[in-house]
Structure 1
Amino acid sequence: MKTKPEKEIGHIRSTEKNIEKPERIFLWEGDVIKILSKQATVKLLETHPPFADLKVILPNLRISRLENITSGARRQYEYNGEPYYFDVLKIRNGYVEIAITERQ
């Protein structure tokens, strides 16, 4: 039985893509990652450069669909009373590069 090869997500190679506060994430179409202590989920639905569609499920179970976003897009979310930024750094055919950062 063939298994799907692992893809590199940032500096982590894992089939369990749980990332606490990643600096950069490479997310392929259909991939789902869990961030912020597995409390939030990010899924890349589709890319159609220069646009992409993502779905973010936040700890309070609020679903945020980001449709037709472009490189440079930024959204602010709150987790444990702290603001976090979701930045779209790059969109390519089949993947996006994103970052989750805290307000400094």
Structure 2
Amino acid sequence: LCPSVVAFSKNNERLVGQTARRQAVVNADNTIFSVKRLMGRRYDDAEVAKAREILPYEIIQGKSGDARVRIPQTGKEYTPQEISAMILRKLKEDAEAYL
């Protein structure tokens, strides 16, 4: 199983899955999980407001009013779809390595 977690380490390395999950305690601001709840939602959506209260990472408003996550370590912002694509890419790589 591959947890749906993406983290950015101190040296800007992108970690996905189990290794990213291990970062959640020591690197909470740069570890993204539960991002699917933000997909397709605007920043001013009630569900996004709830997520901002409980999630340790920063959720910001994108230029088009959508919800995005900001990674302090890199200074970059990502859409929920981009974070999900990172997870799917890792799953694809793992599947290809297995075959």
Please give the TM-score of this superposition, normalised by the length of structure 1.
0.31
Structure showing the higher helix proportion among its residues = 2
Higher relative contact order (CA 8 A, sep 6+): 2
Could you tell me the TM-score, scaled by structure 2's length?
0.32
